[in-house]
Amino acid sequence: MAAMPSLHSSSPNQTHMPIFTYHSSIFFLCLLFHLISIVASAHFYSDVEDMEGIKIDLFPEVLRDEAVARLNELGKISDTDGYLERTYMSPASIRASNLIRGWMEEAGLRTWVDLMGNVHGRVEGMNTSAKALLIGSHLDTVIDAGIFDGALGIVSALSALKVLNINGQLGKLRRPVEVIAFSDEEGVRFQSTFLGSAALAGILPVSVLQIQDKSGVTLQNVLKENSIEISDESFFGLKYDPEAVWGYIEVHIEQGPVLESVGLPLGVVKGIAGQTRLKIYFSGPASLMLTLEANYRMVNIFDPPL
Ligand SMILES: *[C@@H]1O[C@H](CO)[C@@H](O)[C@H](O)[C@H]1NC(C)=O
């Protein structure tokens, strides 16, 4: 969702699969505490005492140690040796999906995998007809990704909900909360980004099922290889009714150096860069070529007229 691939944490001069430092652990604990506050504000009784009862030092084993261990564990699930790569529905992606699904169940969520391979974990709370809060991020990666990209949004959400579960508050949420690990954001395999989330948003054309990866396998067949039979009809059924959704939160590693350079642990974005990727094919006579002196070109699309 928050992808700016050129700015991703995959720069060549970065050490592969970094291990957490002490400072980032502290930051992570703070971040998760904030996430819990947001989720718990959906608490049915919204009693402040309950929130004050969640002491930041009560759950370091879940909010810090386990979350950090999970990020490191996910960061090792790769299709290649030596660097992190998980493309849509690859063997490593399936292993990561299964792992994440297990964590969702451990957090007390009801889980399922949808027809695009997105992994969902949901708790209904006290009012099943209330609009749901969605929290999520992507489980696929760019090639040679950092361990936080995508994984942070999934792991932090699950750690926050796990604490509410331990506290006995999960069932008292005043609206459903659903964590979604999106199967494709980066578009590495099919050169088509956001396959996972765009299907849920209902903005993906059904023709996408026929796009092919480099080896000529269609998206539909990739799903079939993973025992997912998707038809045109069931594809449209993936769309979430906007009326059923209250909001969406995604915790994401910053895709730039600003927070680090000013020493801030956390930023809340007011907007996000939207991407449009276009492939443009030109066809025409050779005299269109830029190598020909401009006045001789039959059609002058590159230079303004002299
Ligand atoms: C449950 O949610 C629905 C839809 O938002 C709302 O109309 C209803 O009042 C809620 N029920 C309770 C008990 O809060």
Q: Are the C-beta atoms of 263 and 152 separated by less than 8 Å?
A: no
Strand partners, 101: none
- Cα of 122 vs centre of ligand 1, distance in Å, is 18
**Chunked in runs of 10, what are the mean pLDDT values of the chain (306 residues)?**
35 38 53 62 44 60 95 98 96 98 98 97 97 97 96 97 94 97 93 91 94 96 95 94 96 91 92 79 67 64 54
Domains of the chain with CATH codes:
2-277 (3.40.630.10)
| CA distances from residue 78 to 12, 139, 144, 152 in whole angstroms, order as listed | 17, 11, 9, 16
Q: Check residue 28 and give its pLDDT.
A: 59
SS3 77: coil
What's the one-letter identity of residue 292? L
Rounded distance between C-alpha atoms, residue 202 and residue 199, angstroms: 5
Integer Cα distance of 179 and 147 in angstroms:
19
Interatomic CA distance for residues 10 and 141, integer angstroms: 10
Nearest to 192 by CA among 95, 86, 275, 94: 275
Beta-strand relationship, 245-249 and 132-138: parallel
What separation in Å is there between the alpha carbon of 171 and the centre of ligand 1? 15
Identify the pLDDT of residue 62: 93
User: Which atom of ligand 1 lies nearest, measured to the CA of 127?
Assistant: 1
Candidate from 129, 177, 246 with most ligand 1 atoms within 8 A of CB, to mutate: 129
Is any ligand 1 atom within 6 A of the Cβ of residue 207?
no
Q: Which residue has the tokens 């997105």?
A: 118
Helices (H), 90-142: 91-106
- For strand 119-123 and strand 110-113, is the pairing parallel, antiparallel, or unpaired? antiparallel
Q: Which pLDDT belongs to residue 272?
A: 80
Hey, is 119 helix, strand or coil? strand
Q: What is the pLDDT of residue 34?
A: 63
Are the C-beta atoms of 125 and 172 separated by less than 8 Å?
Answer: yes
